[in-house]
């Protein structure tokens, strides 16, 4: 079955960077975009951007432009999301999600908690 | 891009029907038939319930249905069951080639 498995929880200091991985299985990794969505504790969902695993092309939400980088390693069917210059407001659960395709997100990874604290 | 507007909470008794609204603009909900809905139980990842306004993925109960009129999309849950108690989010494609989520609605089964 189609599955996305994410890396484990991270604790980072303000100003640092974090890189979250998302390993895909059960389908052809290069055939569907991967999106990243985050959710602060008790808050709603926030779309961060997309990456095309075949071309490497990306599209980022304006809010994260300049701070987020989405990449992939096709040999291991894994997508990555790196967020830099972390601040406390970046504390959230980060999800990867496969494109529908397109225009919807299914399935989702299990989520990765990133905590930013001094 | 501002979040789509949803009611903070909706409640109903078992067996009743409830409807959750999702209001955007002509640049998102009103401009495209690319509205999707997600169910999220506490501590879990979101699950796709409706895509392209009114389509149900296989495995999703036919008690869930979606529609759209103008800049407002709606999710209806009929025959409300205890297991439907969760948070629900809408999402839409936008004219900026991006996506935007709704503010989220907590559904309570009384």
Interface residues on B facing A, Cβ-Cβ cutoff 8 A: 1, 3, 32, 34, 36, 38, 45-48, 51-52, 57, 89, 91, 93, 96-104
Sign of CA dihedral B90, B94, B96, B98: positive
For residue A96, the cross-strand partners are A36
- CA A53 to CA B69: how far, in whole Å? 35
* Beta bridge mates, A83: A18, A68
- B-chain CB neighbours of A41 within 8 Å are none
- Name chain B contacts of A37, Cβ cutoff 8 Å: 46, 101
Percentage of chain A modeled with pLDDT above 70: 100
| Cβ–Cβ contact A44 with B under 8 A | yes
Residue A84 has pLDDT above 90, yes or no: yes
Q: Read off the tokens for B85.
A: 């108690």
Between CA B8 and CA B107 the distance in angstroms is: 9
DSSP state of B2: P
Backbone CA torsion sign across B51, A52, B47, B91: negative
Task: Report pLDDT for B11.
Answer: 97
Q: Is A42 exposed, middle or buried (0-12, 13-18, 19+ CB in 10 A)?
A: exposed
Residue A87 has a pLDDT of 97
The pLDDT assigned to A104 comes to 95
Mean of the per-residue pLDDT values of chain A:
97
CB pairs under 8 A between A and B: 63
- pLDDT tier at A101, thresholds 50, 70, 90: confident
CA–CA gap between residue B68 and residue A30 (Å, rounded): 32
E strands of chain A, at which residues? 3-6, 10-12, 18-25, 34-39, 45-51, 58-60, 68-73, 78-83, 92-99, 105-108, 112-116
pLDDT at residue number A114: 98
Pick the CATH number of B9-109 from 2.40.50.140, 3.40.50.970, 2.60.40.10, 3.30.460.10: 2.60.40.10
CA angle, residues B77, B82, B84, in degrees to nearest 5:
40
Q: Average pLDDT in the A65-86 region?
A: 98
Question: What confidence tier does B36 reach under pLDDT thresholds 50, 70, 90?
Answer: very high
In our burial notation (b when 16+ CB lie closer than 10 A, e otherwise), range B31-51 reads ebebbbbbbbeeeebbbbbbb
Average pLDDT in the A63-91 region?
A: 98
Please report, for chain B, the start and end positions of each structural domain, with discontinuous segments joined by +.
Answer: 9-109
Q: What is the pLDDT of residues B37-85, one digit of tens each?
A: 999 999 999 999 999 999 999 999 999 999 999 999 999 999 999 999 9
Strand (E) or helix (H) holding B18? strand B18-23
Output DSSP code: residue A19: E
Statement: residue A63 has pLDDT above 80: yes
Q: What is the pLDDT of residue B77?
A: 98
| pLDDT > 80? residue A88 | yes
Share of chain B above pLDDT 90, in %: 99
Predicted local confidence at residue B45, as pLDDT: 98
Checking if the pLDDT of A102 tops 80, the result is no
3-state helix, strand, coil in chain B (%, to 5): 5, 50, 45
Q: How far apart, in whole angstroms, are the C-alpha atoms of residue A59 and residue A49?
A: 5
**What is the percentage of chain A residues whose pLDDT exceeds 90?**
97
pLDDT of residue B1: 78
């Amino acid at each position: 079955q189609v599955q996305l498995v994410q890396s484990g929880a991270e604790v980072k200091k303000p100003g640092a960077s974090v890189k979250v991985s998302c390993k895909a299985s059960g389908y052809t990794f290069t055939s569907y975009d991967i999106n990243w969505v985050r959710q602060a504790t008790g808050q709603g969902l926030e779309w961060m951007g997309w990456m095309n695993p075949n071309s490497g092309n990306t599209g980022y939400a304006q809010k994260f432009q300049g701070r987020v980088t989405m990449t992939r390693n096709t040999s291991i069917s894994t997508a990555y999301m790196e967020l830099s210059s972390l601040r406390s407001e970046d504390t959230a659960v980060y999800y990867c999600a496969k494109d529908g395709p397109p225009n919807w997100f299914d399935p989702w990874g299990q989520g990765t908690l990133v905590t930013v604290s001094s | 891009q501002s979040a789509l507007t949803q009611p903070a909470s909706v409640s109903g008794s078992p067996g009743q029907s409830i409807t959750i609204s999702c209001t955007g603009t002509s640049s998102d909900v009103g401009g495209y038939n690319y509205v999707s809905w997600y169910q999220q139980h506490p501590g879990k990842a979101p699950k796709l319930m409706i895509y392209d306004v009114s389509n149900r993925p296989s495995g999703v109960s036919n008690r869930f249905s979606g529609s759209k009129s103008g800049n407002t999309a709606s999710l209806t849950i009929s025959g409300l069951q205890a297991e439907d108690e969760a948070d629900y989010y809408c999402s839409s494609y936008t004219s900026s080639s991006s996506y935007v989520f709704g503010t989220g609605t907590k559904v309570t089964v009384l």
